[in-house]
């Protein structure tokens, strides 16, 4: 049985199908361990948890999508109103006004780049010990900040692991401007639903499909993929319920909460 395990932030698990969901539809078994808002520490810890609890074989595939350096991961079992994971899903700390004073007390850009590089290095070292196939990608190109602050870690990109194109660079390459996005989402910091409005830069399902074709030589078709090809991008917002209903998909379908 061929199994797929994916890890990352909102560029792997989102309100609409991502590259992981599209790719997962072609596997016998698929688990999405990503959560919107995770930082690199949490991404790597969830990788470690998955490997510890599963017998990873040569038939399996693991794909990790790393994220930016501006995230602070906190694990707390039984977080109120968070049925996605026991990790606080804060995302970029600089967009949380309620935390600004707290952030100023502990934040150091150099330290957070350092922490992320160490977690990424640990993840790559773990993957090399496993019998499965694996791929690495990221939300943004991590190299400029590493080169500026900790150039010694650039060897993470010069080893025998090929990094697939990051999603921000891919979007720029495709001249993708995002879509108008309007819905209410749960803010774990202030513990209430808030409107998510404006332009959403996350790639649409059709964009993710194109990324798979260009970066993983993806050439598969099933009813789920064909429906994605036929739907216009703005259909996500103009008819969101109909969009999900037609696909037969929801964001928790293959999500793993874990510990």
Q: What is the pLDDT of residues 57-72, one digit of tens each?
A: 999 999 999 999 989 8
Residue 146, φ and ψ in degrees, nearest 5: -65, -45
What local confidence, expressed as pLDDT, does residue 195 receive? 63
Per CATH, is 3-175+205-247 categorized as 3.40.50.1110? yes
Domain definitions of the chain by residue range: 3-175+205-247
**Cβ atoms 130, 56 nearer than 8 A:** yes
Q: What angle do CA 137, 253, 65 make, to 5 degrees?
A: 10
- Could you give the CA distance from residue 175 to residue 178 in angstroms, rounded to a whole number? 9
DSSP 194: E
Sign, CA torsion 100/105/111/116: negative
Reading the block at residue 237, the tokens are 């917002």
Tokens 């900790």 found at:
150
What local confidence, expressed as pLDDT, does residue 81 receive? 61
Reading the block at residue 39, the tokens are 């930082």
Q: What angle do CA 243, 244, 247 make, to 5 degrees?
A: 90
Q: Which residues pair with 66 in a beta bridge?
A: 138
**Cβ atoms 248, 39 nearer than 8 A:** no
What local confidence, expressed as pLDDT, does residue 101 receive? 74
Contacts of 226 (CB under 8 A, 6+ apart): none
DSSP 164: P
**Cβ atoms 224, 25 nearer than 8 A:** yes
What local confidence, expressed as pLDDT, does residue 239 receive? 78
Reading the block at residue 47, the tokens are 């990788």
- Could you give the CA distance from residue 256 to residue 47 in angstroms, rounded to a whole number? 12
What local confidence, expressed as pLDDT, does residue 99 receive? 63
- Could you give the CA distance from residue 3 to residue 244 in angstroms, rounded to a whole number? 24
Number of other CB atoms surrounding residue 240 within 10 Å: 15
Tokens 């150099």 found at:
110
Task: Give pLDDT < 50 ranges for the chain.
Answer: 188
Host H or E run for residue 191: none
What local confidence, expressed as pLDDT, does residue 194 receive? 63
Sign, CA torsion 181/163/149/35: positive
What local confidence, expressed as pLDDT, does residue 155 receive? 95
Q: Model-level pTM greater than 0.85?
A: yes
């Amino acid at each position: 049985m061929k199994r797929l395990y994916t890890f990352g932030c909102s560029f792997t698990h989102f309100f609409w199908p991502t590259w992981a969901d599209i790719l997962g539809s072609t596997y016998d078994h698929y688990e999405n361990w990503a959560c919107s808002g995770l930082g690199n520490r949490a991404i790597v810890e969830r990788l470690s948890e998955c490997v510890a609890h599963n017998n990873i074989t040569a038939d399996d595939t693991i794909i990790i999508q790393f994220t930016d350096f501006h995230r602070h991961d906190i694990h707390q079992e039984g977080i109120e109103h968070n049925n996605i994971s026991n990790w606080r899903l804060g995302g970029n700390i600089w967009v949380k006004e309620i935390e600004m004073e707290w952030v100023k007390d502990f934040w150091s850009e150099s330290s957070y780049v350092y922490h992320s590089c160490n977690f990424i290095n640990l993840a790559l070292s773990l993957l090399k010990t496993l019998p499965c196939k694996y791929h690495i990608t990221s939300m943004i190109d991590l190299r400029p900040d590493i080169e500026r602050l900790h150039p010694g870690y650039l060897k993470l990109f010069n080893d025998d692991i090929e990094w697939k194109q990051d999603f921000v660079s891919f979007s720029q390459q495709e001249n993708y401007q995002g879509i108008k996005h309007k819905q209410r989402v749960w803010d774990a910091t202030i513990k209430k639903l808030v409107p998510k409005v404006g332009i959403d830069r996350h790639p649409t399902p059709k964009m993710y499909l194109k990324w798979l074709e260009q970066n993983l030589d993806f050439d598969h078709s099933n009813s789920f993929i064909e429906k994605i090809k036929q739907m216009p991008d703005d259909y996500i917002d103009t008819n969101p319920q109909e969009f999900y209903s037609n696909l037969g998909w929801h964001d928790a379908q293959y999500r793993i909460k874990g510990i």
